[in-house]
Amino acid sequence: MPTELHPFSPFLPADARILFLGSFPPQEKRWSMEFYYPNWTNDFWRVMGLLFHDDREWFAVAGEKRFDVDKVKAFCREQHLALYDTACEVRRLQDNASDKFLEVVTPTDIPALLERIPRCNALVTTGQKATDVIVETFRCTQPPMGGSTPLQVGTRTISFWRMPSTSRAYPLPLEKKAEAYRALFV
């Protein structure tokens, strides 16, 4: 089976304080924009809209099924958010976006990412596959859902947060997902 390389460069604003890590982008045919969490049916940007603007559609382009990539990137810079994924190369075992059928061929070098964002004090996984990769990479304890544990990365100790997946396949209402994510920004 063929492998896929990550289609995006890491989004690492120099002053980033939180690094969000998913598993890997869906296939391009599912993108509504060329950026992280591009699938229109993924609620990551709706969660951020609810938390910061009390509007789940804050990042949506009115009348279209896509997110406003410029608005999303500006928001990430303003809020000091970095984004990438825990895999640089994967193999899809089925023709879908499910993490269940995603084989990580080459995991991301997380310490190298963190070196590029020295102010980052929180690493956040947005799904179980991403969490599993971090736990395996660092041989650390998995945080409780919606919670964190300390993670030693070189000489730095950062908070490792495990958040619920923003995929609609994850059976939790959007508002409950937003409440879990709110803890990151308190």
Taking the C-alpha atoms of residue 17 and residue 14, their distance in angstroms, rounded to an integer, is 9
Alpha helices of the chain — where are they, by DSSP H? 44-53, 69-78, 110-116, 128-138, 174-182
Q: Which pLDDT belongs to residue 137?
A: 94
pLDDT higher than 90, residue 93: no
**CATH number listed for the domain at residues 4-185:** 3.40.470.10
Q: Which pLDDT belongs to residue 96?
A: 66
Q: Which pLDDT belongs to residue 95?
A: 74
Q: Hey, where are the domains in the chain?
A: 4-185
Q: Which pLDDT belongs to residue 102?
A: 86
Rama region for 140: left / alpha / beta (φ>0; ψ in -120 to 50; rest): beta
Structure tokens at 139: 């041989």
pTM as predicted: 0.95
Q: Which pLDDT belongs to residue 62?
A: 95
